[in-house]
Amino acid sequence: MNKMATKIIYFTVNGRPEQAEFSVNCSSQDVKDLFRSAAEAGPHDILKLYNRKGNIINISSNLEPNNPNSCYKLEVVASGCNSEPLGVELAGALGFDLSSMEKRLQCLEKKILIEAGNTPAVIYEMKKQVDLFREKLESVEHLSWLGLFKDLSESTHKPSPFYHKRALHKTKDECEHVREKFLQMSCLEVSEEVRQYLKTPTFDNWQWEDAEIMVLLQVMYTDLDFIATYNIETEVLQQFLFEVYRRYNNIPFHNFKHCFCVTQMMYGLMWLTDLRRKMDSTDLLIMLTSAVCHDLDHTGYNNAYQINARTELALRYNDISPLENHHCAVAFEILEKKESNIFKNVTLDQYKRIREGIIKCILATDMTRHNEILSKFKSILSLFDFDNKEHKDVLMMILIKVSDISNEARPMEVAEPWLDCLLQEFYNQSDIEKLEGLPVTPFMDRDKITKPSSQTGFIRFVLLPLFIELANLFPCLEQQIVDPVRKALDYYTEMEKALAREKQDRAPCENAVKIKDIPVAQSTTDKRQSSGLDASKPDTQ
């Protein structure tokens, strides 16, 4: 009898060595449950797995097998406020840990199935007894505090993140599922290590789910003291964050994860430059909230397309920053609702200032205004005064611009997937422009640009000049964000050269194929005619 192929993963949790064994065909959800059981974590606690380099890796069936000398590290990075895990709490209440028992039973069943090829009757009987007891508990209303209700909305199927395989707008079920998970996690205590990591430009967004991201956004508002200073009710902040999540669309780049990355970079810049000492809390609140809302309801088509296609947005805003005006409008639609208005307890004067600041910041993200804003910043840099409102307004616009296009300041393993997402959005727009007979945006045309060529010019002429000027005001940013962008330029420059060499190496072979069957005695004109080329036109490749 052939045994099913298995993987063995070695890891530590709370300092003790553990190992997980599962079949290669095991679902990712089952693998997560296995690790959750090993950590004795609650059903809504947030777990992360770290490799030897300290990078977070995805807990899934695709985990790379390792050995005891290269153990992964499993950590509960956000847990319930109680110091004891759920299993201990249940043990005290019931005399034993039902949740842990069920998971260990599942592991036992899988192991026996792998070894023996079938499941003995005794296992079925044990499962039946556990399920029966759980059913009794779930039917008793006053025991709901035990947290034993099954999440029926949980699904192992993860829809593709790409919009051409998925509806543009999130479905009601999709939103409610994430909302439920977020509310279950919202009272978790996030570890100090993650709180500090959240303040750095190296933060890796790819290993965090949407509900977890909302927890991290809530941490930002809390750690900057906005909750207490502006009397923001926790339930209102949570509803605001959910409404923001709901209004970001299923597109490759300008989605909710991009919103988080921009906000996280803004948050990191505030701590790196010690802005809490230089600017007042309202300015910081404006910048963080602007970052959260800056691309609300983006559909994946830029302003040039909106204007050329004469879309509803372009007509509504008279071709003036149609997208950015729309993002602002959606933000204040959310803030008009009492249940999601995080500013409802501020004074009227404060609200006017906050509204004016958010509009100014979000409109600054229109790249057609890039040179105008950067030139203004450069003109005041030598005389910059944090007590001058005009100076601070320009700085706030510069900070959201830097945050918005900051991916290349991140580690390459974080930044490069974002470029792939952006190019997918670009290529889609240029394809649509060709189909609709509209002017094709040159830097989006898949027939004219490559991955490296799309970046080298952008980094050299847009990113670096912007980042360097900000570092002139805050020298600490030279190492934090300017150096990584220089390294990214070197990386894509080398990639561009390699592609050019590859193209050059292919050219002789392609030319050889073209002229292989042409008789030597033919004239140049005859050669062109016999090869199907017009003698009056130059060769094209």
pLDDT higher than 90, residue 60: no
pLDDT higher than 70, residue 18: yes
pLDDT at 41: 86
Of residues 151 and 476, more confidence is placed in: 476
Instruction: Choose the weakest-confidence range: 84-93, 95-104, 316-325, 528-537.
Output: 528-537
294 in Cβ contact with 404 (< 8 Å):
yes
Strand partners, 56: 50
Six-digit token pair at 75?
Answer: 């950590």
Q: Is 112 exposed, middle or buried (0-12, 13-18, 19+ CB in 10 A)?
A: middle
Q: Is residue 506 part of a domain?
A: no
Q: What is the C-alpha separation between 539 and 352, in angstroms, rounded? A: 63
Q: Is 61 helix (H, G, I), strand (E, B) or coil?
A: coil
- Angle at alpha carbon of residue 191, lines to 339 and 95, rounded to 5°: 90
What average pLDDT does this structure show over 316-332? 98
Does residue 327 sit in the same domain as residue 462? yes
pLDDT at 106: 58
pLDDT higher than 60, residue 541: no
Does residue 130 sit in the same domain as residue 199? no
* Dihedral sign of CA atoms 380, 385, 390, 396 in order: positive
Does residue 102 sit in the same domain as residue 223? no
pLDDT at 470: 98
The band of 260, judged by pLDDT with boundaries at 50, 70 and 90, is: very high
Does residue 238 sit in the same domain as residue 282? yes
Mean pLDDT of the chain: 84
Q: What is the C-alpha separation between 184 and 187, in angstroms, rounded? A: 7
Does residue 117 sit in the same domain as residue 177? no
265 in Cβ contact with 199 (< 8 Å):
no
Q: Is residue 158 part of a domain?
A: no
Instruction: Choose the weakest-confidence range: 129-133, 192-196, 435-439, 499-503.
Output: 129-133
Does residue 260 sit in the same domain as residue 375? yes
pLDDT at 137: 47
pLDDT higher than 50, residue 400: yes
Of residues 61 and 4, more confidence is placed in: 61
| DSSP letters spanning 410-470 | S-HHHHHHHHHHHHHHHHHHHHHHHHHTPPP-GGG-TTT--HHHHHHHHIIIIIHHHHHHH
pLDDT higher than 80, residue 194: yes
Query: Which residue's structure tokens are 């449950």?
Result: 33
Strand partners, 188: none
What average pLDDT does this structure show over 162-178? 81
Does residue 197 sit in the same domain as residue 299? yes
Of residues 85 and 290, more confidence is placed in: 290
How many angstroms separate the most distant Cα atoms in the chain?
A: 98
Of residues 352 and 63, more confidence is placed in: 352
Q: What is the C-alpha separation between 332 and 281, in angstroms, rounded? A: 20
- Amino acid code (one letter) for 285: L
pLDDT at 101: 56
Read off the CATH number of the domain in which 479 is found: 1.10.1300.10
- Amino acid code (one letter) for 49: L
Domain extent at residue 264: 169-494
Is 326 among the residues known to form the active site?
A: no
Domain boundary residue, one of 90, 122, 139: 139
pTM of this prediction exceeds 0.95: no
Q: Is residue 507 part of a domain?
A: no
Parallel, antiparallel or unpaired: strands 56-57 and 16-23: unpaired
Q: Is residue 514 part of a domain?
A: no
Q: Is residue 126 part of a domain?
A: yes
Q: Is residue 518 part of a domain?
A: no
Q: Kindly name the residue from 44, 177, 254, 326 that is annotated as catalytic.
A: 254
Segment (H or E) for 112: helix 98-116
pLDDT at 160: 31
Instruction: Choose the weakest-confidence range: 230-234, 387-391, 439-443, 507-511.
Output: 507-511
Segment (H or E) for 75: strand 72-79
Segment (H or E) for 353: helix 348-363
Q: What is the C-alpha separation between 175 and 210, in angstroms, rounded? A: 10
- Amino acid code (one letter) for 413: E
Total domains in the fold of the chain: 2
Q: Is residue 296 part of a domain?
A: yes
388 backbone dihedrals φ, ψ, rounded to 5°? -95, 115
Does residue 135 sit in the same domain as residue 173? no
51 in Cβ contact with 72 (< 8 Å):
yes
Q: Is residue 85 part of a domain?
A: yes
Does residue 248 sit in the same domain as residue 133? no
Return the closest-CA partner of residue 191 out of 112, 73, 68.
Answer: 73
Does residue 125 sit in the same domain as residue 218? no
Does residue 80 sit in the same domain as residue 180? no
pLDDT tens by residue, 115-153: 555 556 666 666 666 666 555 444 443 333 333 333 323
Does residue 112 sit in the same domain as residue 215? no
